[in-house]
Amino acid sequence: MRKTTLSDIAKYVNVSKTTVSMVLNNKNINVSDETRKKILEASKELKYIPNSVARSLSTNKSYTIGFIVPDIENPFFSEMAKAIETESEKCGYSMILCNTLNRGEREYEYIKLLISRLVDGVVIVPSGESNEALELLSANDVPFVVADRKVESNEKYNGVFCDNNKGIRLGVEYLMNKKVGNIAFVGGLIQGVDTRLGYFEEISLELNILDKDLIEEEEFSMGGGIRATERIMNKNKDLKAIFYSSDIMAIGGMKYLIRNGYKIPKDINILGYDNIGFSSFIEPELTTVAQPIYKMGEEAFKLLLKSINNEHSPVETIILEPYLVDRETVK
């Protein structure tokens, strides 16, 4: 079988190819309603797919956006993807998802792909390896919004972030108020200017509770949470709380602790970050610093749409507020 063409429809309805093209592209043309109807029906029947690439070369719109994420297996990002998708669908946009596995060169390749495929815009959670991908988007004049992770020269780009400084402060103060004693921190292996680990160090220094020996860095995954927790526990410090910079790390860490005979929160308090759906399904349920994940996706799409619809719209940065969700892992 081969792809249905305008000629096939023209033959089927017995009109000229130009008439078919004019009707399908909603151009003004002097044609009876009956013929118009026949052409539309025939295009459906013959399963005609407009070559929207060719079309978008002339109309300059594809009604498609790309969403570039570091790791789609992390529920934080799949939840955000759902948000962007739901919001974009409301406005007649489709969303294409690309997974960079946190690697700069994949990010760059996907952006080349998306640009050459003529998406109208891109929401990107940067891998953090470099700004090259963002520069590529800029250089090609593709509207885009940076989400979740700040980058250097952040003010140059549209961005939607959650206030990490405030979130970490919320978490530390919450643990301090509970008088838990020594707090360990597990940061994510990520480069950038706005890391939760950086804020934790800053705030603990300020509060005079910083012990660098109790800080670990690992990848944002359950496996990363397990490895970091094992290293921390092997130091045999008098430890009363671990603050993880993501829920999936905390879930991994809890697994390690439970398997090694610790009771949570009796023996050790656990605090997560993100508030992904799974955090209330594990036992005990995870106390965590929540990010408004859906909101972040929604705002990112809205900002992108603004930028798509008006190329002169000023660069905007939206900062959302984190909040504490008190469940069962801090006593």
72 binds its own copies (CB under 8 A): yes
Environment class of residue 212 by beta-carbon count within 10 Å: exposed (0-12), middle (13-18) or buried (19+)? exposed
To its own copies, the closest distance from the beta carbon of 255 in angstroms equals 5
308 binds its own copies (CB under 8 A): no
d(CA 270, CA 178): 12
What is the chain's alpha carbon radius of gyration, rounded to the nearest angstrom?
A: 25
Residue span binding its own copies (CB under 8 A) among the ranges 6-14, 134-142, 230-238, 312-320: 134-142
DSSP H helical ranges for 67-189: 75-90, 104-116, 132-139, 164-177
To its own copies, the closest distance from the beta carbon of 111 in angstroms equals 9
DSSP-derived pairing of the beta strands 241-244 and 269-274: parallel
The H or E element that residue 144 is part of is: strand 144-147
167 binds its own copies (CB under 8 A): no
The H or E element that residue 217 is part of is: strand 215-218
CA 129 from centre of chain: 16
Determine which residue in the list 26, 60, 116, 208 makes contact with its own copies, applying CB under 8 A: 116
Contacts with its own copies by CB under 8 A: the residue count is 54
Residue span binding its own copies (CB under 8 A) among the ranges 13-21, 36-44, 195-203, 248-256: 248-256
To its own copies, the closest distance from the beta carbon of 254 in angstroms equals 8
d(CA 331, CA 329): 6
Determine which residue in the list 35, 99, 130, 182 makes contact with its own copies, applying CB under 8 A: 99
CA 141 from centre of chain: 21
312 binds its own copies (CB under 8 A): no
255 binds its own copies (CB under 8 A): yes
Phi then psi for 302, rounded to 5 degrees?
-60, -40
d(CA 77, CA 188): 15
To its own copies, the closest distance from the beta carbon of 207 in angstroms equals 32
State the residues that interact with its own copies by CB under 8 A: 1-4, 46-47, 49-53, 57, 64, 72-73, 75, 78-79, 81-82, 85, 89, 94-99, 101, 106, 109-110, 112-113, 115-118, 135-136, 138-141, 222, 251-252, 255, 258, 277-278, 281-283
